Amino acid sequence: MITVSNVSKHFGDFTALDDVSLEVPDGSLTALLGPSGSGKSTLLRIIGGLEWADAGSVVIHGDDVTNVPPQKRGIGFVFQHYAAFKHMTVRDNVGFGLKIRKTPKDKIDARVDELLNIVGLGGFAKRYPSQLSGGQRQRMALARALAVEPKVLLLDEPFGALDAKVRTELREWLRRLHDEVHVTTLLVTHDQEEALSIADNIAVMDNAHIEQVGGPRELYDRPANPFVMGFLGPVA
């Protein structure tokens, strides 16, 4: 479980997060859903240790990581714009985190093959990132984030740069991947349909606050306030 307690963040006079608390259940696929500028990425970055909170705490699986650097939090990240090593094959990109941890080569190869199969890139190990489509690259990024067996996967609009058809396809991949590896996942998105279709649990954000947390059905049937109703309403 990820527990965020009373986190605030200001940029100068501007309040990006105002006393935000959130629980992400163990093994869930939770969406952090809200309009652009509502504070989603800032909250995700604070959970990941890429940004410091002005106040509050972050606990991941029982460990208070509020003052722990990102590389020691046991987190895998995927962002909207994939960050692949262009001169390295898909195999070497996915295995990179294991290599720097001095994992033996046969173990790396086995783990990489397993992950590439899970994300549907079984035949692509020898390709270079430039030889993949946008959707394939983001699947490679997911495999790479999962290679080191993170406790938590943080995804910031991972499909945001892709066209609608590929986004829908990747949604399904993410859901299937999650059902297979069960890693606690927090997915930032501004897309109601994306959140409603794949998340177990949705936290709706607006204007530096979390407005409501619940399952897709619950939010849709019993919105806590006019903002949640309006934001989810036009869908379905």
Kindly list the residues in this chain that would bind ligand ADP in the complex (CB under 6 A). Answer: 11, 14, 16, 34, 36-42
Assess contact for 148 and 76: CB atoms under 8 A.
Answer: yes
192 near Mg ion, rule: CB under 5 A = no
- Taking CB within 5 to 8 Å according to partner kind, which of Mg ion, ligand ADP, none is near residue 37? ligand ADP
Which residues make beta-bridge pairs with 209? 206
For Mg ion, the closer CB: 112 or 205: 205
| Amino acid code (one letter) for 186 | L
212 near Mg ion, rule: CB under 5 A = no
28, 30, 41, 201: which one contacts Mg ion (CB under 5 A)?
41
In the chain the beta strands, taken as DSSP E runs, fall at 2-11, 14-24, 29-33, 55-60, 63-64, 75-78, 152-156, 184-189, 201-206, 209-214
> How far apart are the C-alpha atoms of 139 and 82, rounded to whole Å?
10
Least distance (Å) from ligand ADP to the CB of residue 33? 10
Stretch that binds Mg ion, among 40-48, 115-123, 204-212, 227-235 (CB under 5 A): 40-48
Coil vs helix vs strand at 142 = helix
Name the one residue in this structure whose structure tokens are 């945001």: 160
Counting residues that bind Mg ion (by CB under 5 A) gives 1
How far from chain centre, in Å, is Cα 203?
A: 13
233: tokens are: 């309403």
For ligand ADP, the closer CB: 42 or 185: 42
Least distance (Å) from ligand ADP to the CB of residue 208? 7
User: Which residues of the chain form contacts with Mg ion (CB under 5 A)?
Assistant: 41
